[in-house]
Structure 1
Amino acid sequence: MSLTPEQVQIIKATVPVLVEHGTTITTRFYQNMLTAHPELNNVFNNAHQVSGHQPRALAMALFAYASHIDDLGALGPAVELICNKHASLYIRPEHYDIVGTYLLAAMKEVLGDALTPAIHDAWAAAYWQLAKLMIDREEQLFQASQGWRDWRDFKIQRKVRESDEITSFYLVPVDGGQLPGFLPGQYISVRMEVPDLKALQARQYSLSDAPGKAYYRISVKRETGLNMADPGSAAYPGYVSNLLHDHKHEGDVLQVSHPYGDFFLAAPTDAPVVLLSAGVGLTCIMSILNTLTESGSPRPIAWIHAARAQKIRAFAAHVADIVHAHENVHTVLFTSNPAAEDVRGVHYHHEGRMDLARLDREKDLFVGDKRAQYFVCGPTSFMVDMEKALKGYSVEDERVHLELFGAGGVPKA
């Protein structure tokens, strides 16, 4: 249904209410919906529920939607990001019915009589306007998946330790069928049973190798903070990563989604590419780097990476080989805590956190070339810092591409 002009004004007028009560509403919404529909625990990230991250992210999304209700084009990038994630989780139209019912009920429960019939009807119309937009976009993504519209069984063909924290998993389809291509930078969802939760849980992992191989490769960081042997351990976003590291072995089967994601290297050009990553953010960057170098691209490429220590930096030898073989590629490495045996200029170039001011503006960042593209992946604070620094060099927003781990969005610098 379309919103009337009066309903648009009502939605905009409720923005202060969302600022004050948004997280309370979304927390109540998730509690009530998951109690009534426990099967949806197989869809939603349990760790993000316990930490409060998912309710906060939904509250922020509602606030953004209400604020731009008369300019939905401004929400295009956010909607594209969410739709890709929904597609990777195989969200169905019927899920939107359930969400709408419990979201409106939570608004009534929290706001009471302040949610008048007119406000309720305006938000019902607004919800279904957005839901239809997303359902239609997700159907487009499904139609482009060459018939792969549900979870597919994959076997772990190889399991390779890349560093003290990161392990790669080479995944091949159990059915022996063809693997669709993907755009370098995209991800797959991986779903498995989590015994402690008595539920299936899915996580998104960037594909860490170039497309066109007989396997999909993901490279997973072990998220510390969860003791799997302690039944009293607090939930932490590491259930799946710990299971992968400790309990999934070569030959084991996982459920995998078709590749999705709105962060990717687009059509080839000769423009310079700057790859900025921190920690496990290098996984999607590695897919881009491998794609460029394996294709013989002559584009100037700089990979600038930050890690806490050399022993946790994955793919160090592989990247060194790339630099040796490709004169158009160079790297700059930051290490927060170099070990006594680390050699400056070999194992790292700069000590401390990544700081673009310590780099050569032209050799490392190509800021003089207005065609240069920047791909940034790492913790949210890192991405915000890099985006702000690049803006300081007059790099336009459309040339800066940010990847996202987890729910929610990357705050704008």
Structure 2
Amino acid sequence: MLSQKAIDIVKSTAPILADRGVDITTVFYKNLFIAHPELLNFFNHANQKQGRQQTALANTVYAAALHIDNLGVLIPAVKQIAQKHRSLGIKAEHYPIVGKYLLLAIKEVLGDAATEEIIQAWADAYGIIADVFIQMEIEMYKEAAEQENGFSEFKNFKIVDKVIESDIITSFYLQPEDKSAVPTFIPGQYITVRLTIPGETYLLNRQYSLSQAPNQETYRISVKKETEMSPNGRASVYLHQDGQIGDIIEVSSPAGDFYIDLESTRPVALISGGVGITPMMSMLDTIAKTSPTRPVTFLHGSRNKALHPFDNDVRDLMSTMEDLTYLTLYSDENQMLTKEILADKVLSNSDIYVCGPVPFMKAIIQSLYDLGFEEGHVHYEFFGPAVALELVHA
């Protein structure tokens, strides 16, 4: 139980964290990896170099400071992060290490302003927050292991097929090396792929959405070859260029809290941009197989046809469904997914799922709120560390 004095101190430091949070988390990661380089086996190195992980952690610490007296409001965010931790194999023994270097970073960045009283209050708060994560993740590991065909961490899978879907997206079909059945998942969830790449000192972990309906034999991931950012996507480039049928890679049990409500009978709107189409394909494929009469609107934005995956697949599924509205817009042809199109195509009582690049998601979700769609019916997922959407509700 956190004392009222500690609560007051932590809350009073929130403005400082808002101002210096990224400075603190940048120092934290630098010092952490110097002292414990083995932890680089758990992190996405590209996100580190681009500063995305530092910003995401700063946002999380700031939110914890604001709500330290009512952590219940953070449970949805905690669940999302805990799902990622479980899929990466992060365990209880890692939390004291993180806590130590986070407190040292606060002291290093804030200097004399970080009094012993402030550091102790944050140490107490971190212990409580860490325990929330630890207990939640213990349950997640247990659930993953105890489900049918389950396993708690990583298992060897074989690439049994490799299919080019567009100029930049290739699908990989993965089957357990021991030829056992795979655990099921809820459409929208992801797996972590852990790669040992020649020339790389550390393991590379990447999380990819499952892009087909659940079945007992294989998982399918559809990977965008990331060459437009710096650094290039080391894992995606390796899979595209070097990943071959017969190769063995490590795969986690499915994870994630972005998934379709299969119990709902409401209409569904799937709205995606770019590679954000991958979880939508799993959702659409499942609806087609289990609820073909359920009304679905599928809106997808891509730069052009050459970069657009699964167009033929969606049209094939359309022939098996009673009420599928499908629209693709290409930005190279000055076609944009506008508020007017959303108002025209998305039924007012829909369950809405959105995935894509951050600017795309900001525009779509803000438009949906402006049109009066309720927050509880609009679901979305970021690829990589979550960032603040900064949306204004109508």
TM superposition score normalised by structure 1 = 0.91
Partners of 1:43 and 1:274 in 2: how far apart? 34
In structure 1, the partner of 2:172 is: 169
Partners of 1:197 and 1:65 in 2: how far apart? 35
Query: 1:324-371: CA deviations, max 9, x gaps?
Result: 332311201111124xxxxxxxxxxxx42221313553xx2001x3xx
- Shift in alpha-carbon separation, 1:145–1:374, aligned structure 2, 3 A: same
In structure 2, the partner of 1:229 is: none
* Per-residue deviation, 1:20: 2.2
SS at match of 2:145: coil
Query: 1:362-384: CA deviations, max 9, x gaps?
Result: xx2001x3xx2000000111111
Instruction: Pick from 254, 261, 267 the counterpart of residue 266 of structure 1.
Output: 261
1:403 equivalenced with 2:381 (yes/no): yes
Partners of 2:342 and 2:32 in 1: how far apart? 50
In structure 2, the partner of 1:120 is: 119
In structure 2, the partner of 1:45 is: 44
Aligned residue identity for 1:357: E
In structure 2, the partner of 1:352 is: 335
In structure 1, the partner of 2:347 is: 366
SS at match of 1:332: strand
Partners of 1:70 and 1:56 in 2: how far apart? 23
Select the structure that is richer in helix: 2
Partners of 2:145 and 2:354 in 1: how far apart? 30
Query: 1:223-269: CA deviations, max 9, x gaps?
Result: 1147xxxxxxx534x11100000011000011100000000012323
Partners of 1:52 and 1:365 in 2: how far apart? 35
Aligned residue identity for 1:10: I
Judge conservation of contact 1:404–1:410 (CA < 8 Å) in 2: no
Aligned residue identity for 2:264: T
Query: 1:304-325: CA deviations, max 9, x gaps?
Result: 0000001111111111111233
Aligned residue identity for 1:200: L
Judge conservation of contact 1:58–1:408 (CA < 8 Å) in 2: no
The correspondence of residues 8-407 of structure 1 with structure 2, limited to 5 A, is: 8-147=7-146, 148-225=151-228, 235-236=231-232, 238-338=233-333, 351-359=334-342, 361=344, 364-367=345-348, 369=349, 372-407=350-385
Structure 1 unaligned blocks of 5 or more: 227-233, 339-350
Partners of 1:269 and 1:18 in 2: how far apart? 41
SS at match of 1:281: helix
Partners of 1:103 and 1:382 in 2: how far apart? 33
Identity, in percent, stands at 42
Partners of 1:129 and 1:162 in 2: how far apart? 46
Partners of 1:111 and 1:196 in 2: how far apart? 38
TM superposition score normalised by structure 2 = 0.95
Structure 2 unaligned blocks of 5 or more: none
* Per-residue deviation, 1:52: 1.5
* Per-residue deviation, 1:213: 3.8
* Per-residue deviation, 1:25: 1.1
Partners of 2:280 and 2:185 in 1: how far apart? 14
Judge conservation of contact 2:181–2:216 (CA < 8 Å) in 1: no
Judge conservation of contact 1:160–1:168 (CA < 8 Å) in 2: yes
Partners of 2:19 and 2:314 in 1: how far apart? 48
SS at match of 1:194: coil
Partners of 1:323 and 1:150 in 2: how far apart? 37
Aligned residue identity for 1:313: H
SS at match of 1:337: helix
SS at match of 2:89: coil
Query: 1:184-209: CA deviations, max 9, x gaps?
Result: 00000001023444110101100000
* Per-residue deviation, 1:411: 1.5
* Per-residue deviation, 1:408: 2.6
* Per-residue deviation, 1:67: 1.0
SS at match of 1:288: helix
Aligned residue identity for 1:164: D
Judge conservation of contact 1:194–1:239 (CA < 8 Å) in 2: no
Judge conservation of contact 1:376–1:403 (CA < 8 Å) in 2: yes
* Per-residue deviation, 1:106: 1.1
- Shift in alpha-carbon separation, 1:65–1:360, aligned structure 2, 3 A: closer
Judge conservation of contact 2:266–2:294 (CA < 8 Å) in 1: yes
